Copies of this chain bind each other. A is one copy, B any other.
Amino acid sequence: MAGAAVTGYRSAGAVNPVTVNSFAGEIGALRPAVRDLVRRRMDVLAPAYRLMYAEPLDVSRAAGAYLFDRDGRRYLDLYNNVPGIGHSHPKVAEAVATALTEANPHTRYLSEAVVDYAERLLETFAVEARPPDRVQFCCTGTEANDLAVRIARAAAGRVGVIVTQHAYHGSGGLAVEASPSVAPGEDWVFAVPAPLDGDPAAFAASVSAAAAELDARGFGCAALLLDSAFTSDGVVTDPIGLLGPAYAAARAAGGLVIADEVQPGFGRLGDGWWGHARHGVVPDLITLGKPMGNGLPIAAVVSRSEIFAAYEPAYFNTFAGTPVTVAAARTVLDVIIADGLIEHARSVGARLLGGLQGLFGPAAVRGAGLYAAVDIHDPAGRPDPAATAGLIAALRRRQILVSATGPGGSTLKIRPPLVVTEADIDHFLEVLDDELPRLVG
């Protein structure tokens, strides 16, 4: 069983995404105001902090899909997926400020706000075959994935976790252990290649082989933990149906399936609320985060009550599910629905993906809705991280923000706030068309 598709976690050759598109510390080249702030920052923040771009961006204002630097220059933001309904959304500010002036008790007191929001959130899953019926709030995707793995272990009576080779599921707890893109990994984690070839059967076979290997190591398979769009592995959204056989393979091995919707969720893929639902599959546990509160720290594990019940230790999270962050999350749901942002993501995303395919060729482009990836190759057809970095820097000069992902950092990552307009996308495609001849062969 443990054939060629099985490669150990530590041999995955993961690229640390932090090193892609990072400020390398060339302080002397910066403008004085930026230089002074970078110096002050380096003097007080821990050494793990990184800035993006060779010339870091000093953000003083943000609105919709735009960031403004200290000099008032406007940047089209095609990268930030946390402010899903747009930067500095006035309705979020208003709802949060109201909750802050009323009350913000933790969840051991009664508060209608958290109940109301949980009801509304569960409605977004109602179209699924076996919809989840309970919510456990957390503050971050890290906490949600850590807890989801603990619950899966308790429910499965097993320990091992299968992830993909460049997955990112969080920065701490069991989530970072299960993130080959940042951590060296533990023996109970096994990483399989993401299905970049779009072959559901081959992907399922590698999950089965991984489960067999985890059995051989004595851990067994507690969970298959998958980002529903493989966003840290280079973005894989198609074909529809891609996830079904892999889910079945994990279950055949006695494991549960955790759908990590931290990046693909909340309508970004332009086809319903959740990335897994797009593939017609039913996870056992679903984790939510990033855009959930438009920048306020709120995240969740969503599942069925009998699965939650398997986890015995008390779980209480002081800041999670309080009226302030719930007010932001409720506003996000309301605005996505009222402004038709899922349909908007679908139509504007189709324009984006079509334009990228026209410029780079259909084979280089993956994605759905407003999550797009473009593989950048050299003239010989090899991945070209240098050209990717050059393109990102050129776009930065033209006041358009994107970044890179994937093995080797040679994949352009594009995931704007959902409120980006057709005109914004057209402008981006025009600038790309202008810059590309100078950068890519």
* A119: Cβ under 8 A from any B Cβ: yes
The reply to whether A109 and B316 contact each other, CB–CB distance below 8 Å, is no
Which B-chain residue is minimally distant from A104 (CB atoms)?
Answer: B295
**Interface members, chain A 225-265 (any B CB < 8 Å):** none
The reply to whether B52 and A108 contact each other, CB–CB distance below 8 Å, is yes
The reply to whether A140 and B141 contact each other, CB–CB distance below 8 Å, is no
Shortest distance between the CB of A287 and any CB in chain B (Å): 12
Instruction: Please tell me how many copies of the chain the complex holds.
Output: 2
The reply to whether B100 and A92 contact each other, CB–CB distance below 8 Å, is yes
Which B-chain residue is minimally distant from A138 (CB atoms)?
Answer: B172
**Interface members, chain A 379-393 (any B CB < 8 Å):** none
Query: Which candidate, A189-197, A318-326, A410-418, A422-430, is the interface stretch facing chain B?
Result: A318-326
* A359: Cβ under 8 A from any B Cβ: no
Chain B residues near A301 (CB, 8 Å)? 46
Chain B residues near A107 (CB, 8 Å)? 45, 49
* A51: Cβ under 8 A from any B Cβ: yes
The contact sample of 10 A-B pairs, CB cut-off 8 A, is A44-B118, A46-B305, A48-B308, A50-B316, A88-B101, A171-B317, A173-B174, A296-B297, A297-B297, A297-B320
Chain A residues close to B by CB (< 8 Å): 16-18, 34, 37-38, 40-41, 43-52, 56-62, 67-68, 80, 82-83, 87-88, 90, 92-94, 96-97, 100-112, 114-115, 118-119, 122, 133-136, 138-143, 146-147, 150, 171-174, 176, 182-184, 289-290, 295-297, 301, 303, 305, 308-309, 311, 313-322, 324-325
